Amino acid sequence: MAVALREAFQTYQGIWFGWTGRVAAQPSPEPRIVDKGGMQYALMDLTSLDRQEYYNGFANRALWPTMHYRVGLSDFSRADYAGYLRVNRTFARALAKLVLPSDLVWVHDYHLIPLAAELRPLGLTNLIGYFHHIPWPAPEVLGTLPGSTDILRSIMDFNLVGVQTERDADNLRRALIQELNAAPQKEDVLDADGKSICVKSFPIGIDVIDFQKVAARPRPNRILGQTIAGLGSRKLIIGVDRLDYSKGIRQRMEAYEHFLASNLDQRGQVTYLQIAPTSRSEVPEYETLSRDVNETLGRINGSLGEPGWVPIQYVTSSYPRSLLAALYRLARVALVTPMRDGMNLVAKEYVAAQDPLHPGVLILSKFAGAAQQLTGALIVNPNDKLEVAEAIRDALRMSHKERVIRWQSMIGPLRDRDVSWWATAFLEELAAQQRITATYPN
Ligand code: GDG
């Protein structure tokens, strides 16, 4: 996402406003202005209580699981929710001083849903857009989260809400109609509480040309050399995900185990490399996940491995982008099987990184937003281990001709809807909205 936004900033002038990711005992209420790499940043620290309640708490332990349909993992607390609102208010007060009357304000992701509702009472009538990077769940699922009606009410203070897929847009529109009695108007516009909002899908893309270049000419790297040497004639299967329960890493390992159990001739012939950089390690559910994945990994490698062959290679450190691109290109198969995902950029990066003459095969979950666009992938239900195991077998056996046809069907649409298309489409749509005229009480 950061790569995508940096791209947008090269085209449009702007200030990037946000949290430094750091905590301070007494953070300044004024943002620190930093110029770096041709961009201007306005950055704020938070207190450790803010980080606990706002970031680790409501955003990552309540909103994130609910939005990913994991209602059972969602842990709502009123204190966390109050912290979420408090930090959004702090951000709004600092940001309001930087915004000029003609500026467009583009807000990103679920940490900042109430930001427009906090900015409006400060007198901002600017066009404010919000892009939601993660899934927007069905209204019945969102409705399980306490505070969700307030969240929907605060959404109405944006002029434009962008989501990844038409499925997400439909879910949000239905929630606004059901919970706020919103009235649908022309073309994706709904009215409620005397306000108007446009809800539309803008599938995020990647910088396809740059990724192709990097993959074709990677920087020399020790790990790449070792991987190539270690593979020998074996085929490589790759998975790349933040270590997150939404990504289905444990389930994927079990599907691969199924594949090895039902295709004995493949033992020793393939290697599955899972790159899973640790994330949100302060959130207890992520600790549990890490333990589960390690146990599954140990069991599979212990029971199926042989001297000289480890079925699954697993790394939790983050690799440089150039190495990642080269590994994608080396892999005959990519396993991208999230249980839910707004889009999933790894799927797009894998396709972009392939050698056009010898492309690999993408196995993609039907619950990733990317499945709406990448129809040349083998589309699977990640809950069905047998189906995923069969897809692995089919991908490894797939003829050269079919691999090329499938890849060609995906690369064109990826190029047409790259990251520049995404940023431009969103900003043009935002600029085309009508400014609000209502005044808000202070
Ligand atoms: C959210 C939504 C939506 C991963 N490991 C390494 C590394 N990565 C990079 C990948 C990719 C990015 O991180 C992950 O993007 P995803 O889209 O797969 O997933 P989230 O982080 O959950 O992102 C998602 C996205 O926002 C954008 O809207 O698609 O649905 O959940 O770019 O390459 N990069 C490097 N080393 C690693 O080890 N350099």
Segment 373-395, tens digit of pLDDT: 999 999 999 999 999 999 999 99
Per-residue pLDDT at 425 exceeds 90: yes
What confidence tier does 437 reach under pLDDT thresholds 50, 70, 90?
Answer: low
Q: Model confidence at 438, in pLDDT bands (50, 70, 90)? A: low
Angle at 321 between CA 318 and CA 326, to 5 degrees: 110
> Could you tell me if the CB of 324 is within 6 A of ligand 1?
yes
The answer to whether residue 188 is catalytic is no
Give the distance, in angstroms, between the CA of residue 310 and the centroid of all CA atoms in the same chain: 30
* Predicted model pTM: 0.96
Confidence bin at 221 (pLDDT 50/70/90): confident
Check if 345 has its Cβ closer than 6 Å to any atom of ligand 1.
yes
273 lines ligand 1 (CB under 6 A): no
Identify the pLDDT of residue 441. 52
pLDDT surpassing 80 at residue 279: yes
Question: What pLDDT score was predicted for residue 393?
Answer: 98
Cα–Cα dist 372/6, whole Å: 25
Percent of the chain with pLDDT over 90: 89
Q: What is the pLDDT of residues 361-377, one digit of tens each?
A: 999 999 999 999 999 99
276 Cα nearest atom in ligand 1: 5
Three-class DSSP category at 198:
strand
Q: Which two tokens stand for residue 229?
A: 């040497």
pLDDT score, position 442? 46
Q: Whose CA is nearest to atom 26 of ligand 1?
A: 133
Distances (CA, A) of 154 to 85, 150, 375: 11, 6, 35
Q: Cα dihedral sign for 93, 63, 197, 107?
A: positive
Q: What is the whole-number distance in angstroms between the Cα of residue 208 and the centre of ligand 1?
A: 15
* Interval 353-364: pLDDT, tens: 999 999 999 999
Which atom of ligand 1 lies nearest, measured to the CA of 244? 22
Residue 134 Cβ inside 6 Å of ligand 1? The answer reads yes
Residue bearing the CA closest to ligand 1, atom 28: 133
The average confidence (pLDDT) of the chain is 94
- Residue identifier of the C-alpha nearest atom 6 of ligand 1: 318
How far, in Å, CA of 344 to CA of 337, rounded?
10
pLDDT at site 436 = 63
> What distance in Å separates the CA atoms of residue 28 and residue 44, rounded to the nearest whole number?
7
Joined tokens for residue 428: 């043009």
Does residue 410 register a pLDDT over 90? yes
Q: Per-residue pLDDT tens for 149-198?
A: 999 999 999 999 999 999 999 999 999 999 999 999 988 999 999 999 99
| Average pLDDT, integer, range 33-54 | 94
Q: Catalytic annotation on 168? A: no
> What is the rounded average pLDDT of the residues 289-301?
96
Residue 7 beta carbon below 6 angstroms from any ligand 1 atom:
no
Average pLDDT over residues 99-125: 96
Alpha-helical (H) ranges within 232-384 are: 249-262, 284-304, 321-330, 345-353
Token reading at 207: 């910088």
Q: How far is CA 241 from CA 248, 332, 357, in A?
A: 9, 18, 27
User: Which range among 34-48, 214-228, 239-253 has the greatest average pLDDT?
Assistant: 239-253
pLDDT tens-place string over residues 224-274: 889 998 999 999 999 999 999 999 999 999 999 999 999 999 999 999 999
**Integer angstrom CA distances of residue 1 from 50, 176, 319:** 23, 27, 17
> Closest Cα to atom 30, ligand 1: which residue?
342
Between the two ends of the chain, the Cα-to-Cα distance in Å is: 34
Mean pLDDT in residue range 207-218 = 91
Atom of ligand 1 nearest to the CA of 131: 28
Choose the catalytic residue: 50, 133, 168, 418.
133
Q: Is 404 exposed, middle or buried (0-12, 13-18, 19+ CB in 10 A)?
A: middle
For every residue of 119-165, DSSP letters joined together read HGGGT--SEEEEE--S----HHHHTTSTTHHHHHHHHTTSSEEEESS
239 CB within 6 A, ligand 1: no
Q: pLDDT category, 1, cuts 50, 70, 90? A: low
Over residues 344-352, mean pLDDT: 98
Integer Cα distance of 169 and 429 in angstroms:
15
Q: What are phi and psi of 133, to 5 degrees?
A: -80, -20
Q: Which helix (H) or strand (E) holds 402?
A: helix 400-416
Helices (H) and strands (E) in the chain, counts: 17, 15
